[in-house]
Amino acid sequence: MKNNPGHEDNLLALRRIEGQVRGIQKMIEDRKYCIDILNQIYAVKGALARVEEKILDKHFRHCVTAAVKGNSERQKQEKLDEILRLINQARRV
């Protein structure tokens, strides 16, 4: 993998999230208070959303921008199709 600070930041965040999920599992095993468990779940969902936003932002600023500025109509169409698929997928979640 290239030395990319954005990717490294995302990996670090995902490792933290992984630890949070393990913590939630332990909370459930230990029969902790439901509201406390739910608060931790919401924290994980928020953290995942932040990673998602960063990756999406990078994709738009680099991959999509490069395709739009390029000469290949096929690549432009592929990127637009990709974005539409992502939007539709996000709406189903």
Number of alpha carbons in the 13 Å side-chain half-sphere of residue 7 = 5
Query: For residue 1, what pLDDT is reported?
Result: 44
User: Helix, strand, or coil here: 88?
Assistant: helix
Q: Are 49 and 69 in contact (CB under 8 A)?
A: no
Query: For residue 3, what pLDDT is reported?
Result: 55
Say which CATH topology domain 5-92 has: Methane Monooxygenase Hydroxylase; Chain G, domain 1 (1.20.58)
Structural domain spans, the chain: 5-92
In the predicted model, is pLDDT for residue 2 greater than 80?
A: no
Reported as type and span, the H/E element at residue 37 is helix 34-58
In the predicted model, is pLDDT for residue 4 greater than 90?
A: no
As to burial, measured by CB atoms within 10 angstroms (0-12 exposed, 13-18 middle, 19+ buried), residue 79 is: buried
Range with lowest mean pLDDT among 14-18, 22-26, 65-69 = 65-69
Number of alpha carbons in the 13 Å side-chain half-sphere of residue 73 = 0
